[in-house]
Amino acid sequence: MERIKIINGRLVTPFRIIENGSLLIEDGRIVEVRKGDIDFPGAQLIDAQNNYVSPGFIDMHTHGGGGHDFMDGTITAFLEAAKIHALHGTTAMVPTTLTAETDDLLQTFSVYSQAKKLNSEGAQFLGLHLEGPYFSMNQKGAQDPRYIRTPNRDEYETIFSYSPDIIRWSAAPELDGAMKFSRFLTEKGILVAIGHSDATSEEVAEALENGFTHLTHLYSGMSGVMRKNAFRYAGVIESAYLYDQLTVEIISDGIHLPASLLQLIYKQIGPARIALITDSMRAAGLESGESILGSLKDGLKVIVEDGVAKLPDRTAFAGSVATADRCVRTMVQLAGVPLLHAVQMMTSTPVRICNVDRSKGTLTVGKDADVVIFDDNILVKTTIINGHVIMNQL
């Protein structure tokens, strides 16, 4: 039975920051959170040295990192990406696919299932996020247009039947058949998200009535105010502010969204409905240069510069190279968000959206011992996953 005692930390709980706090971990669970020291014989001691002790970061939308993409079709890609993100404080993630041929998706499902069993040194896998292929061509962004299509019931039922690990699926609700698609997934308990969509706010309202509840990377790949036959219509972006029933996620790398938009989203929507995501591609954690978005077999060549991945012609972003610590740092240092709320958006909000908040997301007694220790600059010093020390530089 592994026992760990963390002392001299500033504990980030859902309600406050406890100065000079101690955290006790036993058998992979948090057993006590309190101010001051605690007698806990036989425990491994970690002195937090007045750094922050936080719940582990939860990344509910990531495509890879460390030179690997989840569409590579290899167990190594999953395990190595999980390791690199763990070094940056991510203790659990939702690996995300790209728009692709059905056979490639099914191969990814098989590899994921094997990798999940072998993943002992990286961020845990919470389930799969299918990003596409049912998207608006007008809002495709860096998604490969060769594989974008409208929902086909036989196809998505087949895809779903091949994997019990799908927990979320992003699609454009204005497409023919999208409401039937959403109702099918909702009945199966899958989180259905609006993504890469050209919908009007009226179409978003219909989507909400049929099971869509979440917006995939707000402001990226979605419509804003538009004109149709001279009349103005609100788009998906405005729907984020209009409908309180929607939760949203934002790529808070400081590049996809400038400080002003990060501040607007935070001010108008609030931390309880906002999840921070990396949307990271394979170049996350690496130096600038050429890279590939998607699989090595037929992925899209991109350029990594200025802290972001771009299409070769530099007309659009092609996924971020962020890690979770950078996302939190950006919200605090660039957007001026209180640390407590920045951590909330990278921990308790995403686990609630993904419906795994019973066991993860907060430093509270009984939760999984997923813990990260970071300094005032939000540089990660220690990562603990399920009570197992993955990395410790203290």
pLDDT digits (tens, 9 = 90+) for 355-392: 999 999 999 999 999 999 999 999 999 999 999 999 99
Instruction: Give the domain ranges of the chain.
Output: 3-53+374-392, 57-360
| Gap between the Cα atoms of 63 and 81, Å rounded | 9
40 vs 167, residue with greater confidence: 167
Per-residue pLDDT tens digits for 222-269:
999 999 999 999 999 999 999 999 999 999 999 999 999 999 999 999
Peptide bond into 133 cis (omega under 30): yes
Per-residue confidence (pLDDT) for residue 230, from 0 to 100: 95
- pLDDT higher than threshold 80 for residue 113: yes
Checking if the pLDDT of 21 tops 80, the result is yes
CB–CB of 46/394 below 8 Å? yes
pLDDT in tens, 315-331: 888 889 999 999 999 99
* pLDDT tens per residue across span 56-84: 999 999 999 999 999 999 999 999 999 99
Higher pLDDT pick, 167 / 298: 167
What are the beta bridge partners of residue 248? 215, 274
The pLDDT of residue 315 is 86
Cα 141 from Cα 227, distance rounded (Å) = 21
Structure confidence at residue 295 (pLDDT): 84
pLDDT surpassing 90 at residue 170 = yes
pLDDT digits (tens, 9 = 90+) for 201-221: 999 999 999 999 999 999 999
pLDDT of residue 141: 87
**CA 386/CA 126 separation, integer angstroms:** 13
Instruction: Kindly give the interhelix angle for 259-269 and 324-333, rounded to the nearest 10 degrees.
Output: 90
**What's the pLDDT score for residue 232?**
97
| Strands of 90-136, DSSP E | 90-95, 124-125, 128-131
Long-range contacts of 359-363 (CB under 8 A, 24+ apart): 360/55, 360/56, 360/58, 360/91, 360/92, 361/55, 361/58, 362/13, 362/14, 362/55, 363/11, 363/12, 363/13, 363/14, 363/23, 363/30, 363/33, 363/53, 363/54, 363/55
Percentage of the chain beyond pLDDT 70 is: 100
Average of per-residue pLDDT across 23-43 = 95
Residue range 286-307: mean pLDDT, rounded: 88
Query: Mean pLDDT throughout 88-108?
Result: 95
CATH 2.30.40.10 assigned to domain 3-53+374-392? The reply is yes
In the three-class reduction of DSSP (H, G, I as helix; E, B as strand; rest coil), residue 6 is classed as strand
Above pLDDT 90, what percent of the chain?
Answer: 91
* 394: DSSP letter: -
What pLDDT is attached to residue 257?
97
Superfamily (CATH) of domain 57-360: Metal-dependent hydrolases (3.20.20.140)
Angle among Cα 351, 355, 358 to the nearest 5 degrees reads 75
pLDDT of 293 higher than 90 = no
Contacts of 130 (CB under 8 A, 6+ apart): 96, 97, 105, 159, 166, 168, 169, 170
| Six-digit token string for 42 | 């036989």
Q: Give the pLDDT confidence score for residue 316 in this predicted structure.
A: 83
- For the cut 90, the answer to whether the pLDDT of residue 298 exceeds it is no
Q: Specify the DSSP element, H or E, that contains 385.
A: strand 380-385
Average of per-residue pLDDT across 295-308:
88
Average the pLDDT over 280-286 and give the result.
94
* Same topology between domain 3-53+374-392 and domain 57-360: no
Instruction: Decide: helix, strand or coil at residue 70.
Output: helix
Average per-residue pLDDT for the chain: 96
Over residues 176-200, mean pLDDT: 98
How would you classify the pairing of strands 166-171 and 128-131? parallel
Residue 1 has pLDDT above 80, yes or no: no
Predicted pLDDT at 388: 96
